[in-house]
Amino acid sequence: RRSKHGNSACMQEPNIKSGCGGLRDFQNLFWMAFFKYRTRTLRELQEREFVTEAERKQLEAAYDFLLRVRTELHYNTNRPQDVLGKNLQPAVASNLGYSERSPSQRIEKFMRDLYVHMRNVFLITRTLEQRMALVPNAPGRLSRLRQLLPGGRGRKLPEPVDGFLFVDGEIRAASNRIFSDSPRRLMRVFLHAQQRQLTLHPDLAQLIRSQLSLVDREFLNDEHVRETFLTILERRGEVAHILRTMHEVNFLGKYFPEFGKLTCLVQHEFYHQYAADEHTLVCLEQLDKIWEAKEPPFNAYTPIFLGLERPGLLYLALLLHDVGKAAKHEQGKHAEVGAALAMRAAKRLQLEANAADTVQFLVENHLLLASTSQRRDLDDVTVIRNFARQAGTPERLNLLALLTFADSQGTSDKLWSGFKDALLWQLHSRAMTLLTGGTEFRRASENARQELRDEVRGLAPKRISDEELDAHFAQLPARYFEIHMPGEIHDDLELTHRFMHRLVLEGQRTLAPVAAWIDDPDRGYNLVKICTWDRAGLFGKIAGTLSAAGLNILGAQIFTRADGIALDTFFVNDCRTGNLATREQREKFTGLLESVLTGDEMDLRSLIALQTSARSSYSAYLGERISTQIHFDNDASDDRTLIEIETEDRLGLLFVISQTFAELSLDISAARIVTERGAALDSFYVRELGGGKINSPARLLAVEKKLRTAIGQLEAAA
């Protein structure tokens, strides 16, 4: 049941009844206690020392709060409703008395209270389950540790180690004074648990919670405590469980106040599945999974994880990567704020300068690899060089790759895809080549180009003449050969040959395209390659035709030869299922595209409207939409302007944007298309038809205005 509903008490859209820490957990506790001990109330459980007075009050407050939330859900929906969706949260918060003027602050305060109550129910009931399983069916609570052990009084106790007893897979305290006698044991107990793969006995966990006042300034600056914690972080594959245990007894937030402020913190980004602290812990679990992974995509990252000299720095950076969200910061600036907080924590741990700089770098740039790979033109050498310059060293590049993958996996179990994984590895490979002094990006030299030509000649059949091959190499830009392998160049050459053969020998209509499909099931998409004469608005027409055929565009590579032949590659899948394109979709696209490009009257907007798209996975607050944001960057490329557009995804959006560029006389040379839970995050590299960037401020303003108008009209039509 818990796994079905996210296995966490801090879900962005929690199930109040059946989720972790929900009403059913509370009620299950009463049933277990009644059948085993005939207790009927929390006060009776307190009298039998199963719960403390503080725990009883926390459970009572949580039960009352959850009942009121569920009642409001039923009133608002007029039916049994247990999932507190984002669209219902504002109304429920207001009706429960949360009166902050800002809707986001009102929701944040309400949801944080809800998370605290559900977390208390989850942790306390789980502890009670353990306690009741340990205690035999007899009146009263057995007070002596010897009587808690299987075998009763006749069983010999093990010898204490550092004040602890290791019994039946658990750690128990030999005395209630172990922490007051030596506060350093508050950290060492977790190292013992990690080294011996033990869990904390419920009484020991409660003892730790009651002794947290010992985590004072002296404790935080204690070098022995510090060394124990850093040792815990160095044990690859065994860190996440221990840090989660620390958090569940409220120790982790005391030792790292920067992380403690994330506890039950609402994340407003639409793509997040968990509260901030739970997200971080899940990220750490994803990193642990890489250690001995046998299945993709995790096993692809195992070699670089094994090669890390100091994995503890990566674990520390991942623990702190979102701490900036709990501090005041401008929108989109939490990484910079978090980097300063991470450096403060690193200095408190007395890390050497290089290690502290590495942790700060990873926190500040934890979004860099994902944003660059998914929103930049990876075929542009300038993009690769700028990214490699930011990464700095091969070691930091590997750390970024691991952190990015773990962070993405921990954000939501539905956002990562084979396509995004391929983009990450593509950027990693090309940047690593630069950082290690490789020659991949110098293939444009005459010698390298000649070697590449000879390889393609060996692959190409005799029907493709040397003149045709030489023309292909002479009429494409250097960037094309820098990023294509010989086999890919051969495929494009074959496609161009087919196009010219139809044009010259078969007398086909001159504007008719030639298309080729390549299936890539391992990455979850198809490649469709189109060869035709270049013309104004070509990208938009192809994009519109793909949408009309029910296909989702994941990315695109666009090249035009000097003789006017366009070679465009689109990465696509079925927009409804996310699977590969069906045969019917391929045939529909091919037929429509030929009609559109040869001048037949085709109303693409109407054809797109006929497609019934799957319901967007973005769920907005009541009255809230994803606002359209447009950003221009003239530094990302030497000769093109990068235009980044973030808006709510809609059927035909890419068609409308590309058509707008055509109307503005802007040529699209490359595009990165990303969709996250119903939000479109698209990047376009454009140039003026006469060549060059968009430099005039007035021109930039006009482009933005026309784009906003076109997107707004599409939204109104929807």
pLDDT per residue over 364-396, tens digit each? 999 999 999 988 888 888 899 999 999 999 999
Task: With a cut of 80, say whether residue 246 has pLDDT above it.
Answer: yes
Least confidently predicted of 205-214, 274-283, 619-628, 666-675? 619-628
Q: Is the pLDDT of residue 522 over 80?
A: no
Give the HSE-up count for residue 268: Cα atoms under 13 Å, Cβ half-sphere: 16
The answer to whether residue 228 scores a pLDDT higher than 90 is: yes
Q: How far is residue 304 CA from its own chain's centroid?
A: 20
| Structure tokens that stand for 429 in this block | 């490979």
Instruction: Measure the CA–CA gap between 21 and 31, rounded to whole angstroms.
Output: 16
- On the question of a common fold for 164-435 and 629-717, the answer reads no
d(CA 50, CA 44): 9
Phi, psi of 227 (to 5 degrees): -65, -35
The answer on pLDDT for 147 being more than 50 is no
**Spatial separation of the C-alpha atoms in residues 92 and 70, rounded to whole Å:** 9
> Do 420 and 374 touch, CB atoms closer than 8 A?
yes
| pLDDT tier for residue 140 given thresholds of 50, 70 and 90 | very low
CA distance 366 to 279: 14
pLDDT at 573 over 90: no
Q: Which fold has domain 164-435?
A: cca-adding enzyme, domain 2 (1.10.3090)
- Which residues lie closer than 8 Å to 639 by C-beta, 6 or more apart? 687, 691, 692, 693
pLDDT value of position 332: 64
558 pLDDT more than 90? no
Q: How far are the Cα atoms of 178, 373, 684 from residue 658, in angstroms, in the given order? A: 69, 21, 9
Task: Give pLDDT, residue 64.
Answer: 96
Which amino acid makes up residue 707?
Answer: L
Q: Find the mean pLDDT for residues 511-519.
A: 91
CA distance 82 to 116: 18
Sequence-distant (6+) residues with CB within 8 A of 40 are: 30, 34
Residue 275, φ and ψ in degrees, nearest 5: -65, 165
What pLDDT shows up at residue 625? 61
pLDDT tens per residue across span 70-108: 999 999 888 888 999 888 898 999 999 998 888 788 888
User: Which CATH number is 629-717's, of 3.60.150.10, 3.40.640.10, 3.30.70.260, 3.90.1150.10?
Assistant: 3.30.70.260
Query: Per-domain residue ranges for the chain?
Result: 23-136, 164-435, 629-717
Is 561 in contact with 476 (CB distance < 8 Å)?
A: yes
Indicate whether 240 pLDDT > 50.
yes
- Of the two residues 415 and 362, the one the predictor is more confident about is 362
d(CA 206, CA 214) in angstroms, rounded, equals 14
pTM (two decimals): 0.70
Close Cβ partners of 616 (under 8 Å, ≥ 6 residues apart)? 648, 649, 677, 678
Instruction: Report how far residue 5's alpha carbon sits from residue 18's, in angstroms, rounded to the nearest whole number.
Output: 7
Cβ contact 602:655 at 8 Å: no
State the chain's mean pLDDT as an integer. 86
Percent of the chain predicted with pLDDT > 90: 57
b/e map 609-621, b = 16+ CB within 10 Å: eeeebeebbbbeb
Kindly report the number of other CB atoms within 10 A of residue 581's CB atom: 23
Q: Which residues contact 58 (CB under 8 A, 6 or more apart)?
A: 120, 124
Q: What strands, in cross-sheet order, belong to the sheet with 164-167?
A: 164-167, 170-173, 199-200
- Whether the CB-CB separation of 439 and 432 falls below 8 Å is answered with no
Largest CA distance in the chain: 99
Q: What are the C-alpha distances in Å from 603 to residues 425, 593, 600?
A: 39, 12, 10
Q: How far apart, in whole angstroms, are the C-alpha atoms of residue 396 and residue 477?
A: 32
List, in sequence order, every residue forming a beta bridge with 199; answer none if it has no partner. Answer: 170
Give the model confidence (pLDDT) of 622-659 as tens digits: 444 678 999 999 988 888 999 999 888 777 888 999 99
- Please tell me the predicted confidence (pLDDT) of residue 346: 96
Closest to 604 (Cα-Cα) out of 544, 669, 685:
544
